Chains A and B, each alone.
Chain A
Amino acid sequence: MRLEPISNPSLTRTIVPPLIALGSTVVIASLLAMIAGANPFSVLGLILKGAFGSKFAALETLNRATPLIFTGLSVAVAFRAKLWNIGAEAQLYAGAVVTVVLGTGALTLPPVALIPIIALMAMIAGAIVLLIPAILKTRFGVDEVVTTLLFNFIFLLFVSMLLEGPLKDPMGMGWPKSARLIPEARLPRIFPGLRLHWGFALAIIAAIVVWIIQKRTTLGYEMQAVGLNTEAARFAGIPVRTVLIKTALLSGGLAALAGFSEVAGLKGSLTLDLSPGFGYTGIIVAMLALLNPLAVIAAAFFVAGIFVGADSMSRAAGVPTYLADIMLATALLLMVLAILLTRFRIVRE
């Protein structure tokens, strides 16, 4: 078999494969739930109810989507320039560490000044964490997939060291946990009484800013050119190394905002389970969004909905909670295939 590009894909051709992919994901999840002893026909309903069925559920989904928008943007920015940043998890924790270091009383300023300073410093920390693999790539030709992956392990151990050492909360009853942020460093709620913090608004703003950078600036054009064809970009006089370094700084900074927003907006302190893999899930978000920054918002809602919904469904139906991860992996693999099939047809030989 061989793939042949379709010059003018019809509307059906563009819509049907992704729908089949989504439908198959639900079918597979239902079958697995049935194996686990649940009623397969209740699965989809329970997921939707768990994710969007009540005000509480919907807010939970939005809160869960917030860090995913940041990490999704981080990955989308990097992947577009073919910088394979699999290390958003480490960069997220870098942002969280800075937030705790500066936000627990080291700096005393009014919130209007303190919060932006912390956010900026968090971004710088995340940028530095990705800068190392990026320099290893541009200077020594070391593959960044492996280095960023390994950095995740190194950085998590580093955080564990901090939480058992200098950052340990003296009041923490021996738990490896940081002290709580001072109230001035906390991100306030957007609407009084609703459990949704300004980190969410910041995520939406970040998506728009990234979109503007990609569509309206020279850097955005250069990042795209490097990603499409590095050799051609170099031939056209684009400083490929500089562009990759700038991409890394932006990508690392965005991932760090996820850590900042989780600590300052939601948790108030840092523990080792701050992120249940938001950095890795960011890759799924970015791919489902076809690396488009505005679509990252929608993809993050979708992924957060699966997480929150499948979690609630699992508890209601007595199914192991790992079903959410299975659904995401299935959705990702089927979706990349479906998107390919919207543009290519299979020719038998």
Chain B
Amino acid sequence: MDLVDILLSASFWTATIRIASPLIFATMGELICERAGVLNLGIEGIMVAGAFAGWMAVYSGTGLWTGVAIAMLVGMAFGFLHSLLTVPFGLSQHVVGLGLTLLATSLTYFSYRLALPQVTSPPKIQAFEVLPIPVLSDIPIIGPALFAQTPLTYLAFALVLVVSITLYRTPLGLALRAAGENPAAVAAQGLSVTAIRMGAVIVGSGLMAVGGAFLTMSAFDSFFFEMVNGRGWICIALVVFGAWKPGKALMGAVLFAAFDAAQIRIQQTPIGANISYQVFLMMPYLLSILALVAMSRRAEVPAALMVPFNKGER
């Protein structure tokens, strides 16, 4: 009974799409990196940095969209560092990624303490407001969910389309996918595998940072420590779940967000109140693992993922 009520409520679907939005940005970012052959474990830290950079920019007086752009630039800077170490130097993508997550996170916390030395509760900003689309947002249940969100959510969905078209319908996308499947063939075409991969990691990292910024600028209006809370790692699982395809990854993100939105509501039902809240908090992580197990047999991993390419090496 309760579950049916939840599934039929407009607020549930609105929350689902809101929870999915940051995941969509970051998942698309990771997908681009991995499609070009680079696993980016810096995602968690880049999201933290993006969340802070965008929020801090707005707090210091810039406009909201300028804040998003600044978050993206910060993400791209970390992406450049990641790609420099993993692509031309071919260093371990695991180690560089985890190191970058630590670097981005600690630099962010350091900057936060420097910028706001004496605050006990972080200040709020005027975050993105809901922008309902006339007519469409009046459709029952899915209307408010899909058409009464903040502009950043619309951007997230548009992004999936752009990534999809770019990957499958443009020469650039072909070159990027080839860099992740058969880099030697790309090099034989006279293209630079290094440039393609570095570009993919830089752009992808920028998107991860926007995903982080969504948290501080759209979902909430403030920056907290630990606010990214493993979302980056979940996005890596979502890329696998989506079999490295933008559309499927989007479905995965929405499905995941639906479970997350449902667990928050089940917690408040009489049955849910008898279960430890930690069990509910565990659900997103457990679900991600289950999704990975379910998809593992069908996964089509890019053949050259995590394989450095050194021209002239045979």
Q: What residues of B have a CB within 8 angstroms of the CB of A140 in the complex?
A: 293, 296-297
Interchain CB contact under 8 A, B102 and A329: yes
Q: Does A158 contact B (CB under 8 A)?
A: yes
User: Given A164, A287, A320, A349, which contacts B113 in the complex, CB threshold below 8 Å?
Assistant: A320
| Min CB–CB distance A190 → chain B (angstroms) | 32
Interchain CB contact under 8 A, A146 and B288: yes
Within 8 A of A (CB), among B237-279: 237, 240, 276, 278-279
Docked Cα-Cα span, A164 to B110, in Å, equals 32
Interface residues on A, range: 35 or more
User: Given B90, B105, B114, B292, which contacts A142 in the complex, CB threshold below 8 Å?
Assistant: B292
User: Given A136, A153, A161, A320, which contacts B110 in the complex, CB threshold below 8 Å?
Assistant: A320
Interchain CB contact under 8 A, B89 and A337: yes
Q: Does A145 contact B (CB under 8 A)?
A: yes
Q: List 6 A-B contacts (CB under 8 A).
A: A146-B289, A157-B281, A161-B276, A326-B107, A329-B99, A336-B85
| Min CB–CB distance A22 → chain B (angstroms) | 15
Q: Is the interface of A mostly helix, strand, loop or mixed?
A: helix
Docked Cα-Cα span, A203 to B184, in Å, equals 46
Binding site for A on B (CB under 8 A): 39, 41, 81, 85, 88-92, 94-96, 98-100, 102-103, 105-107, 109-110, 113-114, 229-230, 233-234, 236-237, 240, 276, 278-279, 281-282, 285-286, 288-289, 292-293, 296-297, 299, 310-312
Interchain CB contact under 8 A, A158 and B107: no
| Min CB–CB distance B222 → chain A (angstroms) | 19
Q: What residues of A have a CB within 8 angstroms of the CB of B282 in the complex?
A: 153-154, 157-158
Within 8 A of B (CB), among A143-164: 143, 145-147, 149-151, 153-154, 157-158, 160-161, 164
Interchain CB contact under 8 A, A86 and B98: yes
Interchain CB contact under 8 A, A145 and B99: no
Within 8 A of B (CB), among A63-88: 84, 86
Interchain CB contact under 8 A, B237 and A146: yes
Docked Cα-Cα span, A280 to B91, in Å, equals 19
Q: What residues of A have a CB within 8 angstroms of the CB of B286 in the complex?
A: 150, 154
Interchain CB contact under 8 A, B103 and A330: yes
Produce 1/0 per residue, A25-51, CB < 8 A to B.
Answer: 000000010011000000000000000
